[in-house]
Amino acid sequence: MKICQVITRLIIGGAQENTLLTCAGLQERGHAVTLIAGPEAGPEGSLLDEARQGGCDLRIVESLGRPVDPLSDWRARRELTRLLRQIRPDVVHTHSSKAGILGRLAARDAGVPVIVHTIHGMSFNRTQSWPVRTLYRRLEVWCSGFTDRIVSVADAMTRQAIAAGLSPRTGFTTIYSGMRTDLFDPLRDDREAIRHSWGVGDEHIVVGTIARLFRNKGYEQLIPAMAEAVRRDNRLRFVWIGDGAQRGEYASRLHSLGLVGYARLPGLIPPREIPSVLAGMDILVHASQWEGLPRAAVQALLMEKPVVSFDIDGAPEVVIPDRTGILVPLNDVPALAAAIVELAGNPARRKALGRAGRSLCLARFDAQVMVERLEQIYGGLSESGV
């Protein structure tokens, strides 16, 4: 088949990594794959080089930007339609909010036989104002009317989409976001050397986060939880992997709370280095306010690191209480601090949760499984002549 994947930006992020793995897997299975994306921008880091090295046909649409801009959005839709008429794909598969709307409209306008969309996280969510949330929901409902299948990266996304009236249950399929599980080996990296680079020793308990330093990623809740956790256990050290627009603001808050000596901010790292930094951690905290499937939690568990997470969206499908980690109520800062302290003081429990998590994630989140299921959906829809 000729398959086009369309995404808004190729920044470092879960939806983007998922899409690149999908492109690579489909090519390995003999399909002709085109990846269409807008120009990346911002401090989050870029996956453009990885996309170019992947060998698929990469097309950049300059007008496909993340901010809402009626003129640029009209141009992007027109350019996407022109490209799709030129390529004439059998399947268009869209990802992320902006590309999900404009890409599906363009695919319909170009007469593409099969249109698929993946919900990596709801485009309308609790972090938005009511007018914005309402607008995005109405756009999603409209586009769902000519979408042949909606793929959710977690069952929670399907439930939320059905409740919002996007489509009946039969229009959805859950396919967990896949990753290269073979790259995550708990015994491969030099844990001591990694910790030494952060200035921490064996006596410390390292609590990591892997998230953009950005609104809605939970740092507003994590920072006060860190202050309380450190007060109760001064062995704790926190390592933030990522960068973003709020880095300066968050650094100032750490300073004002006397947490500078307890926190390390290494910044951005290439995705291929994620397993190594996880090897140096003892616990991962995921405090995001809005999530489809917490990909960082899966990666941590593949490295046998237990996870503390807010109980939102797809998190309970990865962070299973008393099996792979601890869930706490959304924005309950005292409970978040208590969970960190609890795991910090119980190495045997950390080991048991981590090992169980690795077994779960090896079976549930392998990229080859994801690609195989997507290929089956494309083929089934093509054969049924939808």
Cβ–Cβ under 8 Å, residues 301 and 360: yes
Query: How many other C-beta atoms are found inside a 10 Å radius of the C-beta of residue 91?
Result: 27
Higher pLDDT, 47 or 352: 352
Return the minimum-mean-pLDDT range out of 108-117, 149-158, 199-208, 280-289: 149-158
Cβ–Cβ under 8 Å, residues 99 and 9: no
Return the minimum-mean-pLDDT range out of 40-49, 122-131, 285-294: 122-131
Q: What mean pLDDT is predicted for residues 310-326?
A: 94
Return the minimum-mean-pLDDT range out of 121-125, 188-192, 281-285: 121-125
pLDDT (tens digit, 9 = 90+) per residue, 92-124?
A: 999 988 899 999 999 999 999 999 999 987 776
Return the minimum-mean-pLDDT range out of 148-157, 237-246, 377-386: 377-386
**pLDDT of res. 127:** 67
Domains in the chain: ranges and CATH: 2-178+366-384 (3.40.50.2000), 181-364 (3.40.50.2000)
**pLDDT of res. 96:** 86
pLDDT band at 270 (very low <50, low <70, confident <90, very high): confident
CA nearest to 189, candidates 285, 305, 297, 284: 305
**pLDDT of res. 32:** 96
**pLDDT of res. 42:** 65
**What angle is formed at CA 205 by the lines to CA 189 and CA 193, rounded to 5 degrees?**
30
**pLDDT of res. 256:** 95
Distance (Å, whole) CA 11 – CA 343: 33
Distance (Å, whole) CA 138 – CA 97: 13
Q: Please report the beta strands in 254-382, taking only residues with DSSP state E, as ranges in sequence order.
A: 263-267, 283-286, 307-310, 325-328
pLDDT band at 75 (very low <50, low <70, confident <90, very high): very high
**pLDDT of res. 336:** 98
pLDDT band at 319 (very low <50, low <70, confident <90, very high): very high
Distance (Å, whole) CA 161 – CA 188: 40
Residue 17, Cα to own-chain centre: how many angstroms?
8
pLDDT band at 355 (very low <50, low <70, confident <90, very high): very high
Which pair of tokens denotes residue 204? 């410390």
Distance (Å, whole) CA 386 – CA 345: 56
Judging by DSSP bridges, how do beta strands 91-95 and 205-210 pair with one another?
A: unpaired
**pLDDT of res. 131:** 78
- Inform me whether the pLDDT recorded for 147 exceeds 80: yes
**pLDDT of res. 238:** 98
- Classified as helix, coil or strand, 262 is helix
Contacts of 55 (CB under 8 A, 6+ apart): 24, 27
**pLDDT of res. 291:** 79
Return the minimum-mean-pLDDT range out of 35-49, 64-78, 117-131: 117-131
| 335 beta partners | none
Residue 152, Cα to own-chain centre: how many angstroms?
12
Cβ–Cβ under 8 Å, residues 338 and 318: no
| Alpha-helical segments (H) within the chain | 14-28, 48-53, 70-87, 97-109, 130-144, 155-163, 191-197, 219-232, 247-256, 274-279, 295-302, 333-344, 347-364, 367-384
